[in-house]
Structure 1
Amino acid sequence: MKRLITSLAICLATVTSVAAQNYPSKPITMYVPFAAGGPTDSVARLTAEAMSKSLGQQVLVENLPGAGGTIGSSRAAQATPDGYTILLHHIGMSTAPTLYRKLDFDPTTAFAPIGLVTEAPMTIVARPDFKATTLAELIATIKAEGEGITYANAGVGAASHLCGMLFMSAIDKQMTTVPYKGNGPIMTDLMGSQIDMTCDQATNTAGALKANQIKGYAVTSPERQKAFPNLPTADEAGLPKFELSVWHGLYAPKGTPPDVVAKLTSALQVAVQDPALQQRLDAIATFPVTKDKATPQALQERLNSEIARWRPLIKAAGQFAD
């Protein structure tokens, strides 16, 4: 019996190895747990196109929006672990375990990480006629007026929601939070001076900032961004160590053969070094990571550290999703 079991195990390992060697032999589906047309969808489609070149098979994007990205993520976690279903998700993967009281997957164990993909800095912005002209003046105004200042976010778990929590915690002052159903309406009301301020990823604010339709105070990256050379970092502007970016990671379901994950990681590393992809991502104020970060280890470490970072902030704010 032991000999039979050993033989079966060897046969299974051989079949798995052959399958991995022939991978991919058909198109790959990349789940995006958000609606088409948004920043994450744009990152996914550009990355999928670049990865298709080196994989020799199309990587097709399928949008599965809903519940802050948890519906699509759950589907990906339950998919057959053969490398033909992968998931591209953003920073929300690290906040979901705390934001959602009922989550049917554990982000830290339900997936085989492939690698980090991109980083997008956040921008602290306000309506064009807001009286504060610098970040220091903005903070002073908020501390003086508190809940008299309105802060817009795109809903629980959105980048603007997370940045707002971090910002209010950093300055130790609460504003009146106004939730919206998306970034588009926020920008419309911000440009129309119907709302005071927000903090959102540069992908969403770049157009209005460049057109001087809103007022910019700082970027939340360690260095200034070439898209906004005159916009200081938050640290430069008087908010020390205030750093935040919307990062994207690529995942496969747990149990995906290591050889298959390695091929996907290799294709991702080729993609993030592709000048054409870099140029197209730069146009939407998002930046591919360096090759050394497009690895399973780097993504797992980032996920774990971000979960630890956001858990106490979310619990302290008491802002949970249903």
Structure 2
Amino acid sequence: MKWKTVAAGFAALAFGLVPLAGAKAQDYPTRAISMIVPFAAGGPTDTVARLIAESMSRSLGQQIVVENVGGAGGTRGAGQVAKATPDGYTILLHHIGQATSATLYRKLPYNVLTDFEEVGLVTDVPMTMIAKASLEPKDIAALVAYVKENKDKVIYGNAGVGSASHLCGMLFMSALGTPMTTVPYQGTGPAMNDLVGGQIDLMCDQTTNTTGQIKAGKVKAYAVTTKNRLKALPDVPTMQEGGVKDFEIAVWHGMYAPKGTPPAVVAKLNAALKQALQDPKVIARFADLGTEPVSQERATPEVHKAFVASEVAKWKPVIEQAGIFAD
């Protein structure tokens, strides 16, 4: 009888754990949430993250604190989230580099496709090909000719290996069949400072980081990397208009939690994200920066998961062909 009583007690305790776990997920969040941005403060991904974090904080009733954990092309911050406790209190806001890192880095300390729970896509940010204000060519066609004639003199800057500006530069050089001297920086901010100051000639970066500089006349805008011109920059032509065929790239941003985060917690984060993407303040600010939130259909964990897998497959041959890898 005693053994039966003890066994019954253990059974009751075991069954009791299920409602407890459910209750914890139902109460989530009860404290501040850390949103890791794997790049320096003030960059384009940081801008997107802070807009989304502010809106989601209101929905969730707890503050989302943005933490910048830069280094190693975004893999340091992403790796920190991959190893974090899967309780929903540490999340990641990353861009296209989440997919390209799977091929770009030979010794990635996590698996892009299996070590995260996708929360949802956030936005597709167009890019712009920009230059120091004093660069000679007047349009993108003239720029292409200039680069080909002065390939040993033209200096292209980017925010570091694996950054969006690095990827765009690789595509541009591949499209032209012309290499340029490339200078990697520790973040978008320092690269932009040197472009404005005239220390480098060219850079390709997200509209969230370039629109203000273009409108202020601090840099020269040659083209946008989208099929159509942007409402925020109506006078800037597309690459296609300038004769650079089949050149299209947008930097998507997505949100992630560590693998094993309870589905109910992921669902709460996703609901808050979807609400943020419909927030008039977020929509208006995104428009000022030349982008817009993704549709509600694209902002689901399922769509995001499939999209990341497709992007890994898309960029793998591009990176392998370029032969640029990092340890």
- The Cα of 1:218 is off from its aligned counterpart by 0.9
Determine the C-alpha separation between the residues in 1 that align with 2:134 and 2:66.
Answer: 40
Pairing 1:120–2:125 present: yes
Equivalent position of 1:255 in the other structure:
260
- The Cα of 1:30 is off from its aligned counterpart by 1.4
Moved more, 280-289 or 26-35: 280-289
> Could you tell me which of 80, 83, 97 is aligned with 1:92?
97
Equivalent position of 1:301 in the other structure:
306
> Could you tell me which of 15, 29, 44 is aligned with 1:24?
29
Equivalent position of 1:222 in the other structure:
227
Shift in CA distance, 4/167, structure 1 to aligned 2, threshold 3 Å: farther
- The Cα of 1:153 is off from its aligned counterpart by 1.5
Determine the C-alpha separation between the residues in 2 that align with 1:220 and 1:65.
Answer: 26
> Could you tell me which of 175, 180, 187 is aligned with 1:170?
175
Determine the C-alpha separation between the residues in 1 that align with 2:175 and 2:80.
Answer: 36
Equivalent position of 1:110 in the other structure:
115
Could you give the per-residue CA deviations for residues 136-174 of structure 1, whole angstroms, max 9, x where no partner exists?
222222233333322122221121111000111122221
Pairing 1:133–2:138 present: yes
> Could you tell me which of 207, 210, 233 is aligned with 1:205?
210
Equivalent position of 1:157 in the other structure:
162
Shift in CA distance, 217/308, structure 1 to aligned 2, threshold 3 Å: same
Equivalent position of 1:68 in the other structure:
73
- The Cα of 1:114 is off from its aligned counterpart by 0.4
- The Cα of 1:55 is off from its aligned counterpart by 1.5
Paired residue secondary structure (1:83): coil
Moved more, 146-155 or 184-193: 184-193
Equivalent position of 1:14 in the other structure:
19
Q: What is the TM-score of this pair, normalised by structure 1?
A: 0.91
Pairing 1:241–2:241 present: no
Could you give the per-residue CA deviations for residues 280-316 of structure 1, whole angstroms, max 9, x where no partner exists?
2333444322222211122222212221222222222
Equivalent position of 2:282 in the other structure:
277
In structure 2, the gaps of 5 or more residues are none
- The Cα of 1:5 is off from its aligned counterpart by 9.8
Which residue identity lines up with residue 297 of structure 1 in the other structure? E
Determine the C-alpha separation between the residues in 1 that align with 2:193 and 2:76.
Answer: 28
Equivalent position of 2:295 in the other structure:
290
In structure 1, the gaps of 5 or more residues are none
Residues 232, 289 of structure 2: 8 Å contact kept:
no
Equivalent position of 1:79 in the other structure:
84
Shift in CA distance, 146/57, structure 1 to aligned 2, threshold 3 Å: same
Which residue identity lines up with residue 275 of structure 1 in the other structure? P
Shift in CA distance, 192/49, structure 1 to aligned 2, threshold 3 Å: closer
Shift in CA distance, 151/64, structure 1 to aligned 2, threshold 3 Å: closer
Paired residue secondary structure (2:257): strand
Pairing 1:318–2:323 present: yes
Larger Rg: 2
Shift in CA distance, 76/184, structure 1 to aligned 2, threshold 3 Å: closer
- The Cα of 1:89 is off from its aligned counterpart by 1.1
Q: Which runs of 4+ in 1 moved over 4 A?
A: 1-12
Identity of aligned residues (%): 55
Residues 273, 290 of structure 1: 8 Å contact kept:
no
Shift in CA distance, 65/150, structure 1 to aligned 2, threshold 3 Å: closer
Could you give the per-residue CA deviations for residues 182-237 of structure 1, whole angstroms, max 9, x where no partner exists?
33343333334332212111222222211223221111123221221111122233
**Equivalenced residues, count:** 322
Which residue identity lines up with residue 227 of structure 1 in the other structure? A
